[in-house]
């Protein structure tokens, strides 16, 4: 049964991804003009003028003279072979540019997810067990402020504190000497040193809402008779809470992966731009602005796929962990 | 409310209370339940104040938000003092300490220091004249300097010497209204599609549900960026404003659609709906006259919770330079000035619009939470 459900969900992803690819293609086609218009305008700023023949030639070479659906079909056909096309701006295959950045994006999102859980779980349990204590109020207040502060503002404030009080630039994911170096032990350690700031910035709002969810769920469970029964039988308070109510309250916690992961991936875009992280965000923004359509399209498509996969994982986990969830 | 009746010590009074409770309309009960939520009441006041600022921003702003002043570049914020200690004794009148601009002869760096003089202010004073709502000319300002030539900067000045306080007041108008307009668009989409989906069910329901799932699975920010990047840069502000609102509300309607659908599904076979149907009421009448009214409070609550998301979205887009473009003023446009780490380390008051964003979002969240709890007064 469970396998049938998983297979069914995976098959469902095919039309989903197809729709995503159409949306991504339409989005990058939406701006008036194409890459060449931007390119010509840029050349025009430095007083270089291309004659019409060269422009037509370039347009033909990039395939920009063909009707939309032909361009789309070509794009998808190449995609299926793992070819994302050429980036106009970088004069490089898109796949060379995209994968490392997507990898870092995924790693950052995953690290943030772990951070979110590690922080939200104990605080949420504490808030519920010690309801209306000072600690609960502090956690609730911080949680609310975390929800209300836009990521980029938090990033800016932390950068400001870093520059003014500690005199260091806290942006980026690597120190200068490792920026273009091949992967090594030193580079990994350097990465870990820089990782905490974006993780904290990205994780705050998700942590805040997870704390609230955990607290509310656990409060519901704690008032149920089975807790009283366990207490009456003399189970120690710690085990009593951990063994039954927390396990039940954890369920909705897991189903949140479905939205936490996509939110992280998508929220990371703006934070990465502010903190100048070498992840997908900044390059995608640049590609969108210069109408570098294959590069932008690849990013939109890959980020969307990551979201769809995140939802799939959460649906499957939910079915695996909670036998009460029906898989129809 | 029922506990009120049960716990009241005096029988006469409890009767009165019980009577009042029994005769109260749904809205009255909702309001009573809402009033008990203290944070929500604070949120209501804060939001009321913000919309007041949004409506009368010209009056609240002491100065023209576009006027540049080369002699006030990065002017620091000034505190308003109320108790004036002069030789004649104490007097209560608002004033700020005047700041003198100095240029270091070697580094050419500009700095400000108190000159020791006071700049007196007057409530409801006369400032520079302006056109209120573009309709009639007036010069009444909430705060104005007594001497027309003096200047004061409550929130400091930006890199062009423009008064930040006035700019924040004007920004409030755009930022707070984008949420409202966006929510209105989401409301229409959400109620129509969610209502159809829940009321008719079957194949229509499946299609609309898949559509909602699809929109929800799109990564919001990359899609927003892509949509916003496709706007031609030269558009007039009003057009920019509407398109940005549209983009922002494109995502917002899904949540509302789900709420409405769920309620319609649950209510479809309730006694009063069945009764109306058996009575021969037409379908639009059943939907609009019988079903929607019992949803209103829920809808208002979810709308309130959707507004802050839209404010945050507009702020983020404008911050990246993809939303509203200057000369339009919104909190996000103002925060764009704070993007540069050099300018914020020199002028941390550029963060102030961010404070407004946080306060507005918090207030809306509190208000929405309170409304959601109060939405179903018969529930408890």
The residue of chain B nearest to residue A261, with distances taken between CA atoms, is B219
pLDDT averaged over consecutive 10-residue blocks of chain A (328 residues)? 80 83 80 68 70 75 74 82 78 82 84 87 87 83 82 85 76 71 77 83 84 83 85 85 80 68 75 83 82 81 78 74 58
The pLDDT value given to residue B2: 45
Confirm or reject contact between B316 and chain A (CB < 8 A): yes
Contact B229 A288 (CB under 8 A): yes
Look-up of token digits 């000497």: A177
Q: What is the pLDDT of residue B377?
A: 58
Residues of A in contact with B359 (CB under 8 A): 148
- Look at residues B65, B16, B32 and name the one whose alpha carbon lies nearest to residue B337: B65
ipTM confidence score: 0.77
Among A153, A265, A285, select the one facing B225 at the smallest CB separation: A285
Of A101, A108, A299, the closest CA to residue B229 belongs to A299
The pTM score is 0.81
- Helix residue ranges, H only, A149-244: 151-161, 185-222, 225-232, 237-243
Q: Is B229 in contact with A32 (Cβ distance < 8 A)?
A: no
CA distance B223 to chain A (A): 7
In this complex, is the C-beta atom of B312 within 8 Å of any C-beta atom belonging to chain A?
Answer: yes
Query: A268: closest CA among B167, B298, B76, B219?
Result: B219
Cis bond upstream, residue B327 (ω within 30)? yes
Domain ranges of chain A: 94-321
Of A19, A28, A273, the CB nearest to B320: A273
CA end-to-end span of chain B: 9
What DSSP line would sit under A21-33, residue for residue? HHHHHHHHH-SSS
Calculate the CA A265 to chain-centre distance: 1
The pLDDT, as a whole number, for residue A227 is 86
Contact B219 A311 (CB under 8 A): no
E-strand spans in B10-80? Answer: none
Using the Cβ of B354 and the Cβ atoms of chain A, whether some distance falls under 8 Å is answered with: yes
Across the interface, whether the CB atoms of B222 and A303 are under 8 A apart is answered yes
Q: Which residues of chain B lie closer than 8 angstroms to A270, CB-CB? A: 221, 316, 319-320
Residue among B218, B232, B312 whose CB faces A307 most closely: B218
Contact B218 A270 (CB under 8 A): no
Report CB contact under 8 Å: B218, A289.
no
Looking at residue A282, its pLDDT comes to 84
Task: Say if the Cβ atoms of B308 and A145 lie within 8 Å.
Answer: no
**CB < 8 Å from A in window 359-378 of B:** 359, 361-362, 365
Q: Which residue of B has its CA nearest to A142?
A: B362
Identify the CA nearest to A104 among candidates A198, A37, A13, A25.
A198
Interface with chain A: mutation pick from B40, B225, B340, B373, highest number of A CBs within 10 Å:
B225
From the list A31, A145, A273, the residue facing B230 with the nearest CB is A31
Cβ of B358 within 8 Å of Cβ of A32? The answer is no
pLDDT tens figures, B232-266: 767 777 788 888 888 888 767 887 888 788 888 87
CATH of domain A94-321: 1.10.3720.10
Give the Cα separation of B246 and B260 in Å (integer): 21
Task: List phi, psi (to 5°) of B103.
Answer: -115, 125
Measured between beta carbons, which residues in chain B are less than 8 angstroms from residue A158? none
The H or E element containing residue B90 is strand B89-103
Q: Residues in chain B with pLDDT < 50?
A: 1-10, 380
Residues of A in contact with B217 (CB under 8 A): 16, 20, 262, 304, 307-308, 311
Residue in A145, A274, A307 closest to B219 by CB: A307
Flag if B338 and A288 touch (Cβ within 8 Å).
no
- Residue A308: list chain B partners with CB under 8 A: 217
* Chain B CA closest to residue A169: B341
Q: In Å, how far is B120's CA from the nearest CA of chain A?
A: 34
CA distance A50 to chain B (A): 23
- Nearest Cβ partner for A16 among B214, B219, B358: B214
A-chain residue closest to B231, CA distance: A31
């Amino acid at each position: 049964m469970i396998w049938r459900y998983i297979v069914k969900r995976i098959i469902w992803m095919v039309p989903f991804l197809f729709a995503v690819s159409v949306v991504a293609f339409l989005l990058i086609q939406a701006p008036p003009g194409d890459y060449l218009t931007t390119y010509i305008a840029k050349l025009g700023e430095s007083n270089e003028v291309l004659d019409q023949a060269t422009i037509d030639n370039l347009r033909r070479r990039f395939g920009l003279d063909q009707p939309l659906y032909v361009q789309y079909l070509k794009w998808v056909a190449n995609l299926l072979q793992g070819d994302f096309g050429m980036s106009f701006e970088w004069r490089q295959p898109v796949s060379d540019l995209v994968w490392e950045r997507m990898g870092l994006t995924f790693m950052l999102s995953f690290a943030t997810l772990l951070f979110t859980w590690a922080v939200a779980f104990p605080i949420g349990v504490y808030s519920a067990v010690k309801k209306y204590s000072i600690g609960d109020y502090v956690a609730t207040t911080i949680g609310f402020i975390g929800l209300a502060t836009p990521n980029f503002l938090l990033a800016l404030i932390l950068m400001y504190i870093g520059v003014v009080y500690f005199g260091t630039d806290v942006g980026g994911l690597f120190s200068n000497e490792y920026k273009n170096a091949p992967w090594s032990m030193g580079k990994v350690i350097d990465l870990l040193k820089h990782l905490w700031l974006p993780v904290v910035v990205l994780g705050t709002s998700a942590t805040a809402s997870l704390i609230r969810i955990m607290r509310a769920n656990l409060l519901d469970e704690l008032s149920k008779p089975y807790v009283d029964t366990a207490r009456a039988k003399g189970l120690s308070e710690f085990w009593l809470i951990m063994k039954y109510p927390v396990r039940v309250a954890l369920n909705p916690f897991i189903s949140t992966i479905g939205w936490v992961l996509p939110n992280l991936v998508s929220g990371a875009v703006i934070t990465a731009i502010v903190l100048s992280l070498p992840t997908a965000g900044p390059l995608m923004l640049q590609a969108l602005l210069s109408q570098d359509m294959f590069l932008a399209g690849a990013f939109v498509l890959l980020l969307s796929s990551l979201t769809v996969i995140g939802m799939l994982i959460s649906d499957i986990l939910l079915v695996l962990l909670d036998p009460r969830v029906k898989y129809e | 409310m029922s506990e009120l009746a049960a716990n009241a010590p005096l029988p006469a009074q409890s009767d009165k209370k019980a009577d009042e409770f029994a005769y109260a309309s749904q809205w009255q009960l909702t309001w009573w339940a809402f009033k008990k939520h203290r944070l929500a009441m604070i949120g209501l006041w804060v939001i009321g104040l913000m919309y007041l600022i949004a409506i009368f921003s010209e009056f609240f702003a002491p100065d023209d938000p576009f006027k540049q002043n080369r002699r006030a570049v990065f002017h620091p914020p000034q505190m308003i003092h109320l108790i004036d200690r002069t030789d004649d004794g104490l007097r209560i009148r608002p004033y700020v300490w005047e700041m003198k601009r100095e240029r270091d002869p070697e580094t050419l760096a500009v700095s400000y220091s108190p000159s020791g003089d006071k700049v007196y202010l007057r409530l409801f004073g006369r400032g520079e004249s302006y056109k209120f709502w573009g309709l009639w000319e007036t010069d009444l300002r909430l705060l104005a300097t007594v001497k027309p030539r003096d200047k004061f900067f409550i929130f400091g000045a930006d890199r062009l010497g423009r008064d930040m306080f006035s700019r924040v007041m004007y920004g409030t108008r755009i930022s707070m209204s984008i949420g409202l307009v966006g929510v209105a668009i989401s409301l229409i989409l959400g109620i129509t599609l969610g209502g159809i989906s829940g009321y008719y069910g079957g194949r229509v329901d499946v299609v609309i549900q898949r559509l909602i799932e699809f929109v929800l699975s799109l990564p919001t920010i990359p899609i927003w960026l892509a949509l916003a990047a496709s706007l031609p840069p030269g558009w007039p502000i009003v057009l920019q404003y509407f398109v940005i609102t549209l983009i922002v509300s494109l995502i917002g309607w899904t949540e509302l659609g789900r709420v409405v659908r769920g309620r319609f599904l649950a209510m479809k076979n309730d006694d009063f709906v069945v009764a109306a149907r058996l009575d021969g009421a037409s379908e639009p009448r059943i939907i609009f006259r019988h079903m929607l009214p019992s949803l209103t409070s829920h809808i208002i609550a979810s709308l309130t919770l959707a507004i802050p998301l839209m404010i945050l979205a507009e702020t983020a887009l404008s911050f990246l330079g993809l939303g509203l473009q200057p000369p339009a003023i919104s909190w996000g446009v103002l925060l764009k000035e704070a993007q540069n780490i050099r300018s914020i380390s020199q002028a941390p008051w550029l963060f102030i619009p961010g404070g407004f964003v946080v306060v507005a979002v918090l207030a809306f969240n509190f208000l929405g939470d309170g409304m959601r709890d109060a939405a179903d007064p018969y529930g408890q």
